[in-house]
Amino acid sequence: MVALPMKVLVTGGLGFIGSNFIRHLVSARPGWTIVNLDKQTYAGNPKNLAGLKVKTVKKDICDPKAVDAAMKGADYVVHFAAETHVDRSILDASAFIQTNVIGTQVLLDAALRHGVKRFLHVSTDEVYGSVATGHSVETDKLEPNSPYAASKAASDLLVRSYFVTHKAPVLTTRASNNYGPYQYPEKALPLMITNFMEDKPFPMYGDGRQVRDWLHAVDHARAILLVLEKGSLGEIYNVGGSFDCENRELISKVLSLMGKPSTLITPVEDRKGHDRRYALDCSKLLKLGFKHAYDFEKGLAETIEWYRKNEAWWRPLKVAGGYRTYLKKAYKK
């Protein structure tokens, strides 16, 4: 049994999954002290933690002094902070290398200095690359195909090396595509939901036959807490969802739930290096006792409803300068 920790440092808690994790932690472990270290990039939004009593330090994980101050007294670190959008990494990989690789190294060094008991690194199924058949297991070789995936694979290897070299008390989770409330509307699912709400088209990349596995962000949060408390140090745990499908099937589901016509699907040029299929073998996580709380049909309907009820959350994001500049770059017009 792991002793009850007094303090957990979360990085990237103003983002999509980090904020869902903090919300889950506040209710599942009410006695814990949570400090959130987040630079508040375009993807970080203080509204994601509205109403929660959590201290947020607005600093960069690449800044060793800021990390030292935030990590003081921390028993656990849960590391979400990252640049996360594949399309942006294709336009410019610099911030991805800086935050995802250098930032992780700065945090690992600080964790050693501070004697942190458990450091959980949140990673992704994209490090395995595209899998035509079967399911990726944690020992599979890494074949990242996008600059984003390569930066996450580099951070996974750094984490591994700190375990072997320094006996750092690390754990890594690799999750599939997350969905749920508070996801920045550049990602496929919130983009299609919010576009369809306005009767605007959704740009479907290529033939739309790429396969993704869908995991509710709250289930991801539950899995992370389980691995944090019960996982074996130095180990990696895949965290898959409860449903996988081709993108075109997902788009049809959303259209039908929202009562919108299929004419809103606009095929566009494919993403460069677009991975065809991700699929995870999650036996290791299931052996720890994990069970999904969300079935996809329920989770998707609730997510659509959340975006319907929370226009005040997403509308300003879609008209903000940074978002428009990114879209102009992406579509060259």
174 binds ligand DAU (CB under 6 A): no
Q: Which stretch binds ligand DAU (CB under 6 A): 7-15, 22-30, 123-131, 220-228?
A: 123-131
**86 scored as a contact of ligand DAU (CB under 6 A):** yes
175 to 9, 16, 164, 239: CA distances (angstroms)? 20, 14, 23, 4
Please report how the helices 104-114 and 147-166 are oriented relative to each other, as an axis angle in degrees rounded to 10: 20
- The residue from 75, 83, 128, 148 that is catalytic is 148
Is the distance from CB of 196 to CB of 250 less than 8 angstroms? Answer: no
Q: How far apart are CA 245 and CA 222, in angstroms?
A: 23
**Residue 176 binds ligand DAU, judged by CB under 6 A:** yes
Q: Can 148 be counted among the known catalytic residues?
A: yes
Distance CA 142, CA 128 (A): 5
Our finding on whether 64 is near ligand DAU (CB under 6 A) is: no
Shortest spacing between CB 37 and ligand NAD, in angstroms: 6
End-to-end CA distance of the chain: 57
* 186: annotated active-site residue: no
CA quadruple 239, 302, 205, 20: dihedral sign = negative
* DSSP-derived secondary structure letter, 30: T
CA distance 33 to 133: 43
User: Could you say which of 32, 42, 205, 306 contacts ligand DAU (CB under 6 A)?
Assistant: 205
If binding is defined by CB under 6 A, does position 129 make contact with ligand NAD? no
**Count of residues that bind ligand NAD according to CB under 6 A:** 30
Cβ nearer to ligand NAD, comparing 148 with 196: 148
By the 10 Å C-beta count (0-12 exposed, 13-18 middle, 19+ buried), 144 is classed as buried
Q: Between 71 and 264, whose beta carbon lies closer to ligand DAU?
A: 264
6 DSSP 8-state letter: S
Residue carrying structure tokens 């596995």: 213
* Minimal distance, residue 153 CB to ligand NAD, in Å: 11
Which one from 125, 138, 186, 275 is the annotated catalytic residue?
125
Contact between 38 and ligand NAD by CB under 6 A: the answer reads yes
By the rule CB under 6 A, 317 interacts with ligand NAD: no
Three-class SS of 251-296: HHHHHHHHCCCHHHEEEECCCCCCCCECCECCHHHHHCCCCCCCCH
Residue 238 as a binder of ligand DAU (CB under 6 A): the answer is no
Q: Residues 60, 75, 126, 138: which is the catalytic one?
A: 126
In terms of CB distance, is 114 or 220 closer to ligand DAU?
220
CB 4, min distance to ligand NAD, A: 25
Catalytic residues: 125-126, 148
Chain residues that interact with ligand NAD, rule: CB under 6 A: 11-12, 14-18, 38-41, 43-44, 60-62, 80-84, 99, 103, 122, 124, 152, 175, 177-178, 184
